[in-house]
Amino acid sequence: MLAIGIDLGGTTIKGALVHREKGLLDQLAIDTEAERGLEHTLSRISEAIKMTAGRAQGAEITGVGIGAPGVISFDRKSVSNPPNLMGWTKVHLAREITERTGYSAILENDANLMALGSARYGIGKNYHSFIMLTLGTGVGGGIIFNNELFRGTTGGAGELGHVIIDYNGPESNSVTRGGIEAYLGQRFLSHHAALILKENPENDLYKQFDGNFSTLEPLHLSQAAKKGNELARSILAWAGKKLGYAIVNYIHILDIRTIILSGGVARAGSLLIEPAKKAALTRLMPPFHPGFDIIYEDLGNEAAMLGAAALAFDGFVN
Amino acid sequence: MLAIGIDLGGTTIKGALVHREKGLLDQLAIDTEAERGLEHTLSRISEAIKMTAGRAQGAEITGVGIGAPGVISFDRKSVSNPPNLMGWTKVHLAREITERTGYSAILENDANLMALGSARYGIGKNYHSFIMLTLGTGVGGGIIFNNELFRGTTGGAGELGHVIIDYNGPESNSVTRGGIEAYLGQRFLSHHAALILKENPENDLYKQFDGNFSTLEPLHLSQAAKKGNELARSILAWAGKKLGYAIVNYIHILDIRTIILSGGVARAGSLLIEPAKKAALTRLMPPFHPGFDIIYEDLGNEAAMLGAAALAFDGFVN
């Protein structure tokens, strides 16, 4: 059985042709052209779907799952106020897509789809329950409980980047202060690193950027740390410690002890994970220690498209 | 249909005779005599059960639910390391009770039973999902999702008093720092209030205690605040604000927006709830605002016994 997974972004629309058992068969990407407004973007999404379907060589396609920004309705048919998409307020995207393509469609937010993609096609297959954190521009979360997404009462569960660990802490991209997005979000971590590097002109990383850190990314910290740069290592450890405290909160509330990391910042690997584990274990109540682990998902952005297709395989409601 | 709900404490064993629809029919309490060790305490529990059953006037009793301290096994049959019970390590309490009384038995922790009791017999009946916080000596939590307890992967979910809001914050009765138990637990709030009152000898509450606050309880703060004592009011508002931040964390993770408070400290009512609401709304992401509310459960400790009986009504597994 085949399904199409779409990753709708403000810049790019990605489409994946997915086989239920075999996973990703093919993928493509086209420009969103979001600046041309709602109608045009709907046409672009439909075009991406048709192009992806064209790669199926006539095999039947069960439907389309779409990962979208913004707030997704509980019935997974509408999206409200997606950032970066011009002219979208509340859009019944499932219906619009069905009208344009003939396929049934179902929506979910990206972070939840990353979790579902990992659960069905990635390292998450090994766990019936886990917490997925996507450490990218923002910090997104998805909760898999007994092999299904835990959605809460309206579908909004899992805003894990906005869980407070310091109520006096810094702001991030929301009204919440002191959530891990404010420490580990790509822009925030880069900014923090730049501040520290500016005070350390003798550091190799300072020299590499010639004191101008506008293009510094967490990846540079990982690269430097792996080459033995102690300052870069300590900055990642600082971020990992914050992550560890947030993980304590997830586990004390959910009693789900497997944490899976994805996203660009997570590529720091053990430089981030080991300090996170250590911090979490100091504050986690002892009955929650057995089975606690933090692991890395290397599916990358494909996880969201795979998760979108998985949603389509799980079925549609009318 | 009748069931027995038992609240097993280090000092007192309470027993309630509960009718499935009508709720509490009768209750009694006997001393635990925990200092006499495991065997004796098991006899005392059995005696409380038999005494409670004796009030049923021959009507059939479906079984016994027991609220116990310590870590409850996922199958709800064993309890490990209950504090305040001498000589208990891991005890298969369900079997021990069945052997002594003939009744099927099932266990759960107190905080979860408070939530279940409210869901079946209290204000929680009005909500299919809610988060229950019991603000007592410690701060306990229970999560009701779609009318059932959310238990996580091992039955440990809902340790809501140990969710960090300030990773540099004070310690409470666990390894976690800066959880709300460290601010709102009875002893911690009283201690905080005493520190502030000592610096304000002109305050009426200082005079009431003659500067010696060893017997000060949160109840005194509420009473004084209701009489117009601004300092007492500000201390409760301080605690409410902390509570509000923790609630942001619960809601961002679970997307369950009804918060029900019980326990002695919660008797402060709006003096605590209004500052909590205000703080939560400043940090809660806007999509989570609709439906958000904090309400008070006045069932008191009976909620735990009613919840224990509810567990017995829900059935036993072998």
Residue-wise pLDDT for A170-199, tens only, equals 988 788 899 999 999 999 999 999 999 999
Residue B287 contacts A where some CB pair is shorter than 8 Å: yes
Instruction: For chain A, give the percent of residues with pLDDT over 90.
Output: 93
- The per-residue pLDDT for range B147-196, each reduced to its tens digit, is 999 999 999 999 999 999 999 999 887 888 999 999 999 999 999 999 99
In whole numbers, what is the pLDDT of chain B averaged over residues?
Answer: 95
CB–CB of A160 and B71 under 8 A?
A: no
**What is the predicted pLDDT for the residue at B291?**
97
CB–CB of B285 and A175 under 8 A?
A: yes
Alpha-carbon distance of A222 to A217, in angstroms, equals: 9
**Res A275 pLDDT > 60:** yes
Q: Are A13 and A30 within 8 A, CB to CB?
A: yes
Residue B167 contacts A where some CB pair is shorter than 8 Å: yes
CB–CB of A157 and B129 under 8 A?
A: no
Alpha-carbon distance of A119 to A3, in angstroms, equals: 17
Give Cα separations from A128 to A125, A144, A148, A261, B153 (angstroms): 7, 7, 8, 16, 9
**What is the predicted pLDDT for the residue at B317?**
64
For the segment B100-110, the average pLDDT, to the nearest whole number, is 97
What CATH architecture is B2-103?
Answer: 2-Layer Sandwich (3.30)
Residue A95 contacts B where some CB pair is shorter than 8 Å: no
CATH topology of domain B117-296: Nucleotidyltransferase; domain 5 (3.30.420)
Instruction: For chain A, give the percent of residues with pLDDT over 70.
Output: 99
CA distance to partner chain B, nearest, from residue A133 (Å): 12
CA proximity to A151, closest of B124, B129, B182, B188: B129
CA distance to partner chain A, nearest, from residue B142 (Å): 9
Residue B249 contacts A where some CB pair is shorter than 8 Å: yes
Looking at per-residue pLDDT, the higher value among B318 and A39 belongs to A39
- The per-residue pLDDT for range A52-62, each reduced to its tens digit, is 999 999 999 99
Alpha-carbon distance of B232 to A101, in angstroms, equals: 64
In whole numbers, what is the pLDDT of chain A averaged over residues?
Answer: 96
- What CATH class has A2-108? alpha beta
Residue B90 contacts A where some CB pair is shorter than 8 Å: no
Alpha-carbon distance of B70 to B88, in angstroms, equals: 10
For the segment A221-228, the average pLDDT, to the nearest whole number, is 96
Residue B200 contacts A where some CB pair is shorter than 8 Å: no
Q: Are A306 and A299 within 8 A, CB to CB?
A: yes
**What is the predicted pLDDT for the residue at A197?**
97
- Tell me the sheet residues that pair with A276: none
User: Residue A143: closest CA among chain B residues belongs to which residue?
Assistant: B253
CA distance to partner chain A, nearest, from residue B80 (Å): 10
Model ipTM value: 0.96
* Packing angle, helices B186-198 and B230-254, rounded to 10: 140
CA distance to partner chain B, nearest, from residue A115 (Å): 14
CATH fold match for the domains B2-103 and B117-296: yes
Please report which confidence band the pLDDT of residue B318 belongs to, taking 50, 70 and 90 as the band edges: low
- The per-residue pLDDT for range A115-166, each reduced to its tens digit, is 999 999 999 999 999 999 999 989 999 999 999 999 999 999 999 999 999 9
Four-residue CA torsion sign, B36, B40, B45, B47: negative
Q: Are A13 and A6 within 8 A, CB to CB?
A: yes
**What is the predicted pLDDT for the residue at B33?**
95
CB–CB of A282 and B175 under 8 A?
A: yes
A-B C-beta contacts closer than 8 Å: 142
Please report which confidence band the pLDDT of residue B305 belongs to, taking 50, 70 and 90 as the band edges: very high
Residues of A in contact with B253 (CB under 8 A): 141, 143, 157-160, 163, 249-250, 253-254
Q: Where do the domains of chain A lie? A: 2-108, 123-296
CB–CB of A253 and B253 under 8 A?
A: yes
- The per-residue pLDDT for range B248-281, each reduced to its tens digit, is 999 999 999 999 999 999 999 999 999 999 999 9
- The per-residue pLDDT for range B53-83, each reduced to its tens digit, is 999 999 999 999 999 988 999 999 999 989 8
HEC-encoded secondary structure of B115-183: HHHHHHHCHHHHCCCEEEEEECCCEEEEEEECCEECCCCCCCCCCHHHCECECCCCECCCCCECECHHH
User: Residue A253: closest CA among chain B residues belongs to which residue?
Assistant: B158
Please report which confidence band the pLDDT of residue A84 belongs to, taking 50, 70 and 90 as the band edges: confident
Interface residue of A127, A143, A147, A159 to substitute, partner B, most B CBs within 10 Å? A159
**What is the predicted pLDDT for the residue at A318?**
55
**What is the predicted pLDDT for the residue at A62?**
97
Instruction: For chain B, give the percent of residues with pLDDT over 90.
Output: 93
Whole-model pTM?
0.96
Alpha-carbon distance of A89 to A316, in angstroms, equals: 24
Residues 3-62 in A contacting B (C-alpha not used; CB under 8 Å): none
**What is the predicted pLDDT for the residue at B174?**
80
Q: Which residues of B84-106 are buried (b: 16+ CB within 10 A; e: fewer)?
A: ebeebeebebbebbbebbebbbb
CB–CB of B283 and A154 under 8 A?
A: no
User: Residue B279: closest CA among chain A residues belongs to which residue?
Assistant: A167
CA distance to partner chain A, nearest, from residue B48 (Å): 30
Residues 254-273 in A contacting B (C-alpha not used; CB under 8 Å): 254-257
**Res B34 pLDDT > 80:** yes
- Burial status of residue A107 (CB atoms within 10 A of its CB: 0-12, 13-18, 19 or more): buried
**What is the predicted pLDDT for the residue at A317?**
65
**Res A224 pLDDT > 90:** yes
Backbone angles phi, psi at A188, to 5 degrees: -70, -40
- What CATH class has A123-296? alpha beta
